[in-house]
Amino acid sequence: MIGTILICFGFFVGTIGTLIEAGGGFIMMPFLAKRILSSWNANFLLKSSECAMINILEKQNIMNTTINPHTTSKAFLSLALFLGLATGCSTIKTRQNVASLQKLSSEIPTEFKELKSAVFAENDVTTDDSVDVVTESISEATNHDITEIPPSIISEKKIRIPVELNEHVQRWIAYFTERDRERFQRFLNRGQLYRDVVENVLEENDLPAELYYLAMIESGFRTNAHSHASAVGVWQFIPGTARRYGLRIDRYVDERRDPIRATEAAAKYLRDLYNVFGSWHLAMAAYNAGEIRILRAVFKGRKRNFWDLIQSKSLPKETAEYIPKFLAVVLIGQDPKKYGFSETNNGVSYPKLEAVEVPGSLQLNQISKLSGLTLDSLKKVNPHLNFSQTPSSVARYEIWVPALSASTLKAQQSELFRNYTKIQRSTASTGIAKTSVEVHRVKPGESLLTIARKYKLSIGHLKRINNLKSNRILSGTRLRTQSRAYSPSNFVRYKVKRGENLTLIAKKFKTSITKLKVSNQLRKNQIVVGQVLKIDSPDL
C-alpha cells in the first residue's frame, strides 16, 4: 500500500516537473536509482538519436552527479521519485533544447542515426610501416596529475588541440625516441611528401593543422596501408564510412588510397565528430573506435573528459592509448631536433595536381600519349585506380594530372569524348565495350596467387575470365588479366530511399540480390538511406 502511494506520488511530482524549464536538473539519484539508470542507459543509447543523448548530458549534468548510498527505505522512495521524474523529464522541450538540437542536426549528416551499423572495428594496420602495428598496454596506475605545455610553445606552434604531458604521453614519447626511432624517422620523412596537401585541406575546413599527425599514427602515410578490419589508405577508412563521405569504392577504383580525396573526406568526418562531442580528444577517439562506442563510454564513465574516461576505464584499451600516442607524435613532430630526429623539411612535396575529366574505360596509356606524361607518373598520382584505366562503371571520371600537363590534356578533352561516344554507339547493340586486354605469360615459380596480387585481382576472378577449373597453371601459359567490361550505358547509379531494401531494389531493376551485392561489394544485405548503389541490369 505504502509502495503504491509512493509511486503515485513520484509520477505526480514528475508531471509537475514538465512545467519547469530545467526540471531534469534537480534529480538526485541514490544508489538503487543509479543501478537502474545504468541499465536504462544501455537501451536508451541504441534507441535514441545521438543528438538527444548529448543534450541530456548537458542539460541534466548527470555525469557530474555525486551518488551516495542511502538506506533501503530511502532508496525505495528515490526509485519512485526517479520513475516519475524521468517520465516528466522525457517530455520537457524548452526553447534552449530545441535550439541546441536544431544546431546539432544541421551539423551532422542525415545518416547519423544509422551509424551504429557502421561502427569502426579495431584499426590495427597490418603493414609493417605503421604506428598502429604497435600495441602497448596502458598502465593500470592512472596518475591524473597533468603537466600542461607552456602557453608560449602552444602559441608559437599554433597548436589548437589541447596538448598535455602525463605518464601516458611520456611513455609513447619514450617508445618512439628509444625503441622505434628508425621507423618514426621514416614516418617524418614520408609525411613531408603529403604535408602541404593535408594541411591545405585542414585549413580550408578550419580544422587544427596538427590533425596532420593523425594520418601518421593511422598509416605512417602509406597510401596502400590495409588493416584486418578492411580499413584502407592514409586515413584508414572502412568501406561504410568512406562511402558515407563520398569516396568511391568498386572493382575499378578505391578512392581511400587517393591522398587528396581521402583527406577531404577525413576532414569532413572529423569536423562532424567534433560538432557532436565538442572535444578534439573525444572526436579523435571516436575516429578510432567509432561514434557509438565513445558515446557508450561517456554514459558508462559519466564524464566528458578523455583523461577522466581513462581513469574510470570506460574506454577500449586501444582507444585509451590512441590519444596519448597522437599527442606524443604532435610534440615530437613540432620539434624533432629536441628529440634527436633529423629535420624533415627537405623541400620535397606532393606535386601540384589538377583534376581533369576524361571518359570512363579510358586506358592510361592513351592519356599518357596525349598529355606527354609517362605511364608510371600517371599511376603514381592516381594510386586509387585498380587497373591501368579509368573506371568502366561511369561515363566520366576525374583523374589527377600534374598542373604543368593539365592544359595539354584539357585541350584534347573534346576529341577524347567524341571517340568515346563513337565506341558507345558501336557497342550499343551488344551492350559490351571492348577494352584492351592485358595478357600475362606465366613464368617459372609463379602461381595464381602471385599473379592475382600483381594485377590486384582475386584468384576467383582470374579463374573466371580464363575459364580455369583448378588453381594449377603451367609455365608459359598465357592468362588474361582484364576481362571485357560492360559499357557505362549498361550501368545506373541509384540512391537508396527511405523504406527500401535490396529485395525491393532488385525487383525494381529486374536483377538479383546477389548481383547487387557483388557489384557494390556488400557483405551483408543491410543498406542505409542515401547510399548510392551501382546497378547492372539487362533491361537498362
Active-site residue, 156 included: no
Return the number of other C-beta atoms located less than 10 Å from residue 371's C-beta: 22
Cβ(394)–Cβ(362) below 8 Å: no
Cβ(11)–Cβ(87) below 8 Å: yes
List b or e across 264-300, with b for residues whose CB sees 16 or more CB atoms inside 10 angstroms: bbbbbbbbbbbebbebbbbbbbbbbbbbbbbbbbbbb
Residue tagged active-site, from 218, 264, 291, 318: 218
Strands (E), 117-249: 147-148, 164-165
Q: Return the biggest CA–CA distance within the chain.
A: 91
Distance CA 45, CA 52 (A): 10
**Placement of cell 633529423 in the chain:** 342
Retrieve residue 23's grid coordinates: 526540471
CA distances in angstroms from 327 to 149, 331, 339, listed in the order given: 11, 6, 14
Return the number of other C-beta atoms located less than 10 Å from residue 1's C-beta: 5
Distance CA 255, CA 272 (A): 20
Return the number of other C-beta atoms located less than 10 Å from residue 75's C-beta: 18
CA distances in angstroms from 28 to 41, 47, 69, 85, 516, listed in the order given: 17, 25, 12, 10, 53
Catalytic residues: 218
